Amino acid sequence: MSDDIRMGRTARKAAGEGAPPAAAKPRARGANATRSQMALDLFADVAADLTCGVDEVGRGPLAGPVVTAAVILDPARPIKGLADSKKLTPQRREALYEEIVERALAFCVAEASVAEIDSLNILHATMLAMQRAVNGLSRVPSLALIDGNRCPVLPMRAQAIVKGDDKVPAISAASILAKVTRDRQLIALHDAFPQYGFDEHVGYGTPRHLEALRLHGPCPHHRQSFAPVREAFEIFGTLTVSRVVSTS
């Protein structure tokens, strides 16, 4: 499988790139403003510039890659119903996925592999995947809004927003792209390894998944650095973690 396919990178350029509209007038912020409100005000202040939302899916599962997405929305083509992907039905996520792909100014979906997760740890692998998503955009944003409490190292300004996937539309859009992409990957993986039930839990450590690990041992797509998988490797075979070279 090629690096581009493995990374799941995808981006599109909007037709016509005119001069960006003038920046919005900065809002006054009271001394008692909460951190969340300040983050939302920041988003409003730079809304006229190219701002991308960034989110990840798959930090907690025992199998499969961690998938990230970066999205620059088009103010002229709003998308109704954007929200945290976890709060949407699979059918609604799929419908919004198609709208985002069609209407966004730019988007990129990227990932860090199981080998990279085992080598770097899940946090650093997630930061690497976020870098890949932002750097893969067909247009360079002036600001990256990151879901969570920390930012990857990026060539532009970045702001972490806790629960941003439920507050900032661009982050919601990124959450949806990442979630739909990863769910599709794990459902496809179920065809090759039906004994684990990936189509049901998409890699998370449910009772069924843990029982399958005890009965069958891990497959090549399980994360050896995660405790339940490591324990299964110790029972069924030698635990070996491939070392990989990190590339930004």
To the question of whether residue 234 is assigned a binding role by annotation, the answer is no
Q: String of b and e for 29-57 (b: at least 16 CB within 10 Å)?
A: eeeeeeeeeebbebbebbbeebbbbbbbb
The answer to whether 165 is annotated as binding is no
C-alpha dihedral (18, 19, 20, 25), degrees to nearest 10? -150
Angle between helices 207-216 and 227-236 (to 10 degrees): 20
Residue 108's SS3 state is: strand
Under DSSP, is residue 11 helix (H, G, I), strand (E, B) or coil? Answer: coil
Instruction: Flag whether 191 is marked binding.
Output: no
Tokens representing 77 are 């083509």
Instruction: Show binding-site residues for a divalent metal cation.
Output: 55-56, 147
Instruction: Show binding-site residues.
Output: 55-56, 147
